[in-house]
A and B are shown apart, each in its own frame.
Chain A
Amino acid sequence: MNIQTPVRLGPAEEKLIAQLEGAGADALADQLRARGLPTRRVEAYHYTDLKMLLRDVPDLPEPGEAAAAPALRVPGSYRLLVADGEVQEVGTAPAGVIVSEQDGPVLSERDDPIVGVNRALAVSTLKVRLESSVDPVVHIDRRATGVAGHVVGSVLIDVADGASATVLESCSGTEEAHLTNFATKVNLGKGARLTHIVVDLSGETVTRFHTLEYEFAAESHLHGLVLNSGSQLSRTQIFGTVNGEGAHADLNGLNLVNGGQHCDITMDLTHAVPNTTSKEKFKVVAREKAKAVFQGKILVAQDAQKTDAKMMMQGLMLGATAEILSKPELEIYADDVVCGHGSTCGDLDHDAMFYLMSRGVPQKLAESMLIRAFVQELLDPIEDAELNEALSGVVEDWLAQEGQNLSA
C-alpha cells in the first residue's frame, strides 16, 4: 500500500493558497495545497528551498501612495512609475514609444510556482511598445510602497521589427518586508535590438521574485543585464527561446551580495533554430554570510545547427563565510554546434593586493579597486553614458556599504 503523507503547510503557503483562491485560481491553489512550495528535492529549487526560505506572505497591497524619490535616477530617461503593480505616471512618451495597459498576465504557462502565482494574481500588464529607434532610456520604475505587501506586477516590452531601444527596470520600495513577484516579457521583432537592464535595489528585508521571458525573432539582438544588490531573498528566473535565425542573445548577470542575503539567478535558454548565438556571463561578489546561486542551462534543439553558445560564471568570494553555488548545464541535441561553459570561483588575487598595498593603497581601497576591475566588464557594454554612470553608482554604493575587512 502506498499512502502519500500529506504535505504539512506552513503559514506562507496557507496565505498564498488563500490569495490564489481569492483570485479564482483554484487549480493552482489545489496544486500548492497538494505539493507545498518547492523544497531542495525539486531540482530547479535545489539551492533555493522556497519551503524553508519563504516564511511569510504579506497581504495583497492596498493602493498606496508612491514612494518619493526613485532609488535609481537616470538623467534624460523617460520614466514610467509603477507602484505596487499599478501604473501611476506615464507622462508624455518620447517618439517611438507607445504605452498601454492590457488585461491579465503576460507570462507563458509553466510548471513553476513563481510563474503560476504571477499569472494568477497579475490583473493587468503594462505594455511598452517600441516602434522605432528610441533615443532616451525607457525607465520602468517599479516600487513597493507603504506597509509590507505582496506586490505582483507584469510588464510587456514589445520591440517592433527593426526597432532599437534601451529599457531599464528598477525595483525598489519602502523598507518593509514586501514580497514582490514581477514578470517581464520581452518580444524582439525581426532585426530588433534591445538593451534590457534589470536592477534590484529593494530593501534588505524584501523577498523578490522576478521572471524574465525572452522571445527572439530572426536577426534580433539582445543585450541583457540583471544587477542584483537588494533584497534579503531573491530569485530571478530567465527563460529564453531563440527562435529566429541569426538572432543573438547576450545575457549577463551581476549579483552583489552581503550580510545574510540569498540571491539566485536561474537561466534556461533554448536555441530552437539554426544559426543563432548566445553569450552568457554571470558574476558574483559575495561577502559576509551571503549566498549566491547561479543555475544556467542552455538547450540546443536537434535542428539548431551552427549554434554558438558560451556561458561563463565567475565568482569572487570575500571571506570564508560567503557561499557561491553554480550549476552550468548544456543539453545539446544538434551535432554541428560550438558550445561551452566554464565556472570559476576564488578570492581576491593576493599578489595584486600586495602590489597595490605596497604602493600605499590601504586594504579596503585596494579591495574596492580589484572588485571594480572584476565587475567592470559587465558595465562597459552599456553605451548610454547616464545609464552606465547610474549602474556604476549602484556598484559604488554597494562597495561603500559597511562590511568587515573583505579578505580577512
Chain B
Amino acid sequence: MTTPMLEIRDLHVRIEEENKAILKGVNLTIPHGEVHAVMGRNGSGKSTLSYALAGREGYEITDGDVLLDGESIVDMEPDERAAAGLFLAFQYPIEIPGVATMTFLKAAMNAQRKAREQEELSTPDFRKAVREAAGKLSIDTDMLKRALNVGFSGGEKKRAEVLQMALLQPKMCILDETDSGLDIDALQIVSEGVNGLRSPQRSMLVITHYQRLLNHIVPDRVHVFSDGRVVESGDKDLALELESKGYAAFDGVPA
C-alpha cells in the first residue's frame, strides 16, 4: 500500500483559550494527487481543522495524529510544517502593516529553499517568478508593492493566498473557504489558478460550505463535516446531494 499524502487519524483538538473540545475524532486520508473537499455548516470546526493542521498556537491536539507523507507533523512548528510541504490558504488572511508583500514573498520563498537546502533565488529570478504567477491570477503587480494584505479587497486577499501557493509549490494544499468573498469572475480565475496546480505529486483539501466552488475545482472525494467530525464521505455527487437535501439530512441537526 502506498503512503497517502495526508492522513488524519482520530484527531481531537481543544481550543485552549475556551477550554472547549472542537474536533472530536477526525479521520481523513488523502492519497497523492487527489483533491478532497470538506463541506460543513458554519461553526462545524472546518477552520479549526485547518489551523490545527498548520500548527497554530492555542489549538491543542489532545488525541490522534497527522501524518504528512508518512511523517507525523503534530510536534512541528508551523514553519517546519511549511518546509515539509504543507500550505494553508487562510479563510481570513492576516494583514501585516509595514511588511511589503514583495519582501514577504521573497523571505518566504528563500526560507523554504533554505530549509530544502536549495540556493537562494536571485532577485531577477524571484521577480520573474512573481510576475508570471501574478499574471495567471490577474493580480496587478501594484498590489504587491503594498504592505501584506493591508488594504487588499476580500477578493485580492484570496488571490494573494493562491499566488503564495503557486510560488511556494507545496505538496499538500489546504484551502479554507477560498471561494468566500469572490464574485463569479474572480472565482473563475482563482479556480483556474488552483486547477493549474493540480498534479500527481500534489494533494489538496478544499474547505467550503457552498457546492458552487466544486463546479470549478472538481474533487475526487467529498466529506461532510459536522460537530468536529466527518459524518459522511462520497464522490463529487455527494456535494450536489448535500446542496439539494441540506446539512440536516446528514448530521441530524435542524438547520
Q: Which of A346-372 contact B (CB under 8 A)?
A: 349-352, 354-363, 365-366, 369-370, 372
Residues of B near A376 (CB, < 8 A) are 98
Q: How large is the interface on B (under 10, 10 to 19, 20 to 34, 35 or more residues)?
A: 20 to 34
Contact A370 B107 (CB under 8 A): no
Q: Does A377 contact B (CB under 8 A)?
A: yes
Write out, one digit per residue, whether chain B residues 46-64 have a CB within 8 A of any chain A CB (1) or not (0): 0000000011110000000
Determine the residue in chain A with the shortest Cβ distance to B85.
A360
Residues of A near B54 (CB, < 8 A) are 354, 358
Contact A356 B56 (CB under 8 A): no
Contact B77 A360 (CB under 8 A): no
Contact B79 A363 (CB under 8 A): yes
Contact A352 B168 (CB under 8 A): no
User: Distance in Å from the Cβ of A275 to the closest Cβ of chain B?
Assistant: 33
- In Å, the complex CA distance between A356 and B98 comes to 13
Q: Which listed residue (A351, A354, A361, A373) contacts B108, Cβ 8 A? A: A361
Contact A377 B96 (CB under 8 A): no
Q: Does A374 contact B (CB under 8 A)?
A: yes
Q: Does B83 contact A (CB under 8 A)?
A: yes
- In Å, the complex CA distance between A360 and B113 comes to 9
Residues of A near B57 (CB, < 8 A) are 350, 354
Q: Does B248 contact A (CB under 8 A)?
A: no
Tell which of A354, A365, A372, A376 has the most Cβ of chain B within 10 Å.
Answer: A354
Contact A362 B94 (CB under 8 A): no
Q: Which of B54-103 contact A (CB under 8 A)?
A: 54-57, 77-79, 81-83, 87-88, 90, 93-94, 96-99, 103
Q: Does B208 contact A (CB under 8 A)?
A: no
Contact B98 A361 (CB under 8 A): no
- In Å, the complex CA distance between A189 and B99 comes to 38
Which B residues are within 8 Å of any A CB, using their own CB? 54-57, 77-79, 81-83, 87-88, 90, 93-94, 96-99, 103-104, 107-108, 111-112, 115, 147, 164, 168
**Further 4 A-B residue pairs, CB within 8 A, beyond A357-B55, A372-B98:** A358-B87, A359-B82, A359-B104, A369-B99
Lowest 6 A-B CB distances belong to which pairs? A373-B98, A360-B82, A359-B108, A357-B78, A355-B94, A360-B112
